[in-house]
């Protein structure tokens, strides 16, 4: 059993504006309100809850332990322990029963849950320990009796909805985990909360209520979604408010955390596209990001390549975990910003911060292939677009799944709908010399036209080879096809990128790139290394500056920036 997470938010939502019920100024001096971290009673004294859990949400849906001792004996023991509150848990199923055909008697409840033999045995023990009950006493009347005794002994009652279906809580596969789970009918839950709040308003010891114990992901992966949390919790709290005061809650309108969504402060969104996988889309995304950051821009990478989210590996942050924040996820930092004085950039230029969000962080295993169906992918992408707290970004690069299928189109459409008009600057199309068959590129360009995406330019990757041994860059494959093709289609050509094994060693092993003396890449001689060749200390962005591909990407990014200017 765990403490309900929702106690304080709910108290806040419930009681800030008006009392649950007005009572004279005597114990418990309700209503309680919240003030910062404190709970205050009606005399403005701070109340500290020291409580015990009294479970009543398991299979019988009757508060437990009554076969051993009376309600008053149990309450006295609680008091003797120095406790001042009970968290009384209940299942929504009990209220569903009440709505369907009146509440179940103790006899029926015990026999239904425990079977004829055990049920009858436990029932008889309950009746012996608690002579005021009969076999026809209802479950809700047991809750009433406990609340009455709590008032007598001055113990606060905090009501807690533990589960929908009455069972011992909590697992990911118990059907009670998240809104809409097998037994977690949201309408019935809201009705149950309002019913219990209204019913308990007549208990003088009733001081607070929580909305739901331990929300958790379901086994099929629903949950952990702040938007759905918010969209369900607020009306539920409002329902309790209305049920107990007869008024609309005036508080909630004011603070919708989702009014400024995560993309609001992102200046430019650039998609990285390719018709096929394996052409270097993720390596291009990585290098565009590092280069933009080395020019002082703040950059985010969103990896929605659900077929193979490889960004965590490229950025060397595979073991990082995404943190939750109210309203969403915090992206994982790759490096923070450096000002000119502390900068490790050539010429001491400031370095912009780089953050990344990837589905890879949410998958357990690097090799977990995601075989979700289309709608689920679209939902996931939508959540990625709306729930990541990027903060202020100059550029958000999106590594998209390869292809031009219908599913792909719907992902891009979701993106266009989520972003503000003009926020998506366009797409960088990655191709290789071999892939430059006219039909492949035509597909890609048609795709952009269909979805209304501006083509910022084409990058031809894997054109040529930077030999680690002989200071030469050879064109193993053809080169220049990309440029011709870009001309044919009247789209900008951003540059050719050779294969550089030193880049792979940098990504895979964290090795600072070194080249034989006199190596010339893209017409430029690689400069002498300032560091010892064996010095592999430093961050990815520092070491990337020694990579032959950095010079090329610096040129690509220069063009890209001028192409994104309106
Ligand atoms: N220019 C390059 N030089 C060296 N290795 C490269 C280059 N481009 C891509 N690679 C490597 O090729 C593999 C496939 O590239 P990747 O970016 O993952 O492709 P995609 O994202 O299109 O599937 C990766 O291991 C990557 O490191
Ligand atoms: Mg990739």
- In DSSP terms, 34 is beta-bridged to 39
Beta carbons within 10 angstroms of residue 254's beta carbon? 6
How many A from CA of 544 to the centre of ligand 1?
Answer: 15
| 434 closest CA partner among 278, 307, 212 | 278
The residue to mutate among 279, 283, 310, 547, having the most atoms of ligand 1 within 8 angstroms of its beta carbon, is: 283
- Of residues 366 and 242, more confidently modeled: 242
pLDDT of residue 365: 55
pLDDT score of 445 more than 90: no
| Percent of the chain whose pLDDT exceeds 90 | 55
Q: Which ligand 1 atom lies nearest to the CA of residue 286?
A: 17
Q: 4, 160 in Cβ contact below 8 A?
A: yes
What residue spans define the domains of the chain? 50-224, 266-459+478-497
The 10s digit of each residue's pLDDT in 331-381 is 999 999 998 888 888 888 899 999 999 988 876 554 555 555 666 677 777
How many A from CA of 452 to the centre of ligand 2?
Answer: 23
pLDDT score of 436 more than 80: no
Nearest ligand to residue 281 Cα: 1
Query: 266-459+478-497 domain in CATH 3.40.50.300?
Result: yes
Mean of pLDDT over the chain: 85
CA distance 299 to 397: 8
The 10s digit of each residue's pLDDT in 303-324 is 988 777 899 999 999 888 888 7
Which residue do the tokens 């939750």 mark?
324
CA distance 426 to 455: 5
Beta carbons within 10 angstroms of residue 239's beta carbon? 21
Percent helix, strand, coil in the chain, to 5, is: 35, 20, 45
How many A from CA of 314 to the centre of ligand 1?
Answer: 10
pLDDT score of 478 more than 80: no
Contact residues for 179 (Cβ-Cβ < 8 A; gap 6+): 186, 189, 215, 228, 232
Q: Measured from the CB, is residue 280 less than 6 Å from ligand 1?
A: yes
Query: 50-224 domain in CATH 3.20.20.80?
Result: yes
Q: Is 382 helix (H, G, I), strand (E, B) or coil?
A: helix
How many A from CA of 468 to the centre of ligand 2?
Answer: 24
Q: Which ligand 1 atom lies nearest to the CA of residue 503?
A: 4
Q: Which ligand 1 atom lies nearest to the CA of residue 402?
A: 22
Q: Measured from the CB, is residue 548 less than 6 Å from ligand 1?
A: no
- In DSSP terms, 40 is beta-bridged to 33, 46
pLDDT of residue 219: 87
E strands along 467-492, which residues?
473-474
Tokens of 271: 């998609």
Q: Measured from the CB, is residue 461 less than 6 Å from ligand 1?
A: yes
Q: Whose CA is nearest to atom 10 of ligand 1?
A: 280
Q: Measured from the CB, is residue 278 less than 6 Å from ligand 1?
A: yes
How many A from CA of 515 to the centre of ligand 1?
Answer: 20
Q: Measured from the CB, is residue 274 less than 6 Å from ligand 1?
A: yes
The 10s digit of each residue's pLDDT in 96-148 is 999 998 789 999 999 999 999 999 999 999 999 999 999 999 999 999 999 99
Using CA atoms, how far residue 525 sits from 327, 373, 407, 478, 479, in Å, is 49, 49, 44, 22, 20
Nearest ligand to residue 459 Cα: 1
Q: Which ligand 1 atom lies nearest to the CA of residue 461?
A: 1
Q: Measured from the CB, is residue 104 less than 6 Å from ligand 1?
A: no
Using CA atoms, how far residue 20 sits from 13, 197, 293, in Å, is 11, 9, 54
How many A from CA of 378 to the centre of ligand 2?
Answer: 18
Q: Is 269 helix (H, G, I), strand (E, B) or coil?
A: strand
Q: Measured from the CB, is residue 304 less than 6 Å from ligand 1?
A: no
pLDDT of residue 4: 30
CA distance 80 to 74: 10
Please indicate whether the domains covering 50-224 and 266-459+478-497 agree at the CATH topology level. no
Q: Which ligand 1 atom lies nearest to the CA of residue 497?
A: 1
Where helices occur in 153-185 by DSSP H, the ranges are none
């Amino acid at each position: 059993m765990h403490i309900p997470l929702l106690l304080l938010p709910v108290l806040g939502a419930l009681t800030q504006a008006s009392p649950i019920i007005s009572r004279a100024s005597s114990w418990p001096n309700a209503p309680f309100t919240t003030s910062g971290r404190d709970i205050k009673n009606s005399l403005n004294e701070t109340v500290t809850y020291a409580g015990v859990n009294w479970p009543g949400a398991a299979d019988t849906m009757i508060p437990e332990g009554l076969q051993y001792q009376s309600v008053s004996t149990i309450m006295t023991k609680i008091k003797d322990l120095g406790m001042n509150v009970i968290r009384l848990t209940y299942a929504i199923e009990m209220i569903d029963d009440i709505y369907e055909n009146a509440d179940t008697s103790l006899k029926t409840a015990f026999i239904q849950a425990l079977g004829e033999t055990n049920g009858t045995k436990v029932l008889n023990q309950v009746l012996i320990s608690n002579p005021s009950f009969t076999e026809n006493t209802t479950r809700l009347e047991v809750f009433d009796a406990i609340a009455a005794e709590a008032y007598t002994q001055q113990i606060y009652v905090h009501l807690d909805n533990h589960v929908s279906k009455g069972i011992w809580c909590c697992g990911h596969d118990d059907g009670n985990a998240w809104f809409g789970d097998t037994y977690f009918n949201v309408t019935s839950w809201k009705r149950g909360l309002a019913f219990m709040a209204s019913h308990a308003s007549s208990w003088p010891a009733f001081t607070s209520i929580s909305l739901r114990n331990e929300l958790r992901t379901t086994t099929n992966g629903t949950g952990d979604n702040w938007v759905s949390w918010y969209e369900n919790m607020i009306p539920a709290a409002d329902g309790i408010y209305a049920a107990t005061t007869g008024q609309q809650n005036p508080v909630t309108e004011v603070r919708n955390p989702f009014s400024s969504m995560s993309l609001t402060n992102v200046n430019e969104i650039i998609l990285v596209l390719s018709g096929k996988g394996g052409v270097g889309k993720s390596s291009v995304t990585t290098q565009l990001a590092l280069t933009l950051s080395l020019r002082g821009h703040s950059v985010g990478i969103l990896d929605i390549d659900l077929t193979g989210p490889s960004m965590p590996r490229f950025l060397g942050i595979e073991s990082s975990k995404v943190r939750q924040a109210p309203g969403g996820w915090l992206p994982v930092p790759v490096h923070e910003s450096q000002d000119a004085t502390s900068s490790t950039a050539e010429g001491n230029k400031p370095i912009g911060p780089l953050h990344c969000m990837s589905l890879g962080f949410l998958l357990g295993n690097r090799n977990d292939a995601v075989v979700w169906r289309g709608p689920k992918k679209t939902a996931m992408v939508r959540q990625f677009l709306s729930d990541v707290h990027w903060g202020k970004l100059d550029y958000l690069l999106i590594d998209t799944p390869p292809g031009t299928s219908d599913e792909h189109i719907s992902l891009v459409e979701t993106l266009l709908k989520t972003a503000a008009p003009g926020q998506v600057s366009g797409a960088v199309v990655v191709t290789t010399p071999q892939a430059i068959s006219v039909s492949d590129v035509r597909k890609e360009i048609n795709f952009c036209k269909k979805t209304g995406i501006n083509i910022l330019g084409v990058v031809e990757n894997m054109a040529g080879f930077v030999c680690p041994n002989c200071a030469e860059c050879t064109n193993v494959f053809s080169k220049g096809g990309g440029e011709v093709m870009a001309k044919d289609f009247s789209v900008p050509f951003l540059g050719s990128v050779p294969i550089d094994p030193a880049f792979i060693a940098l990504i895979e092993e964290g090795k600072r790139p070194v080249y034989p003396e006199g190596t010339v890449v893209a017409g430029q001689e690689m400069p002498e290394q300032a560091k010892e060749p064996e010095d592999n200390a430093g961050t990815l962005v520092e070491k990337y500056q020694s990579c032959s591909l950095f010079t090329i990407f610096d040129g690509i990014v220069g063009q890209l920036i001028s192409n994104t200017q309106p």
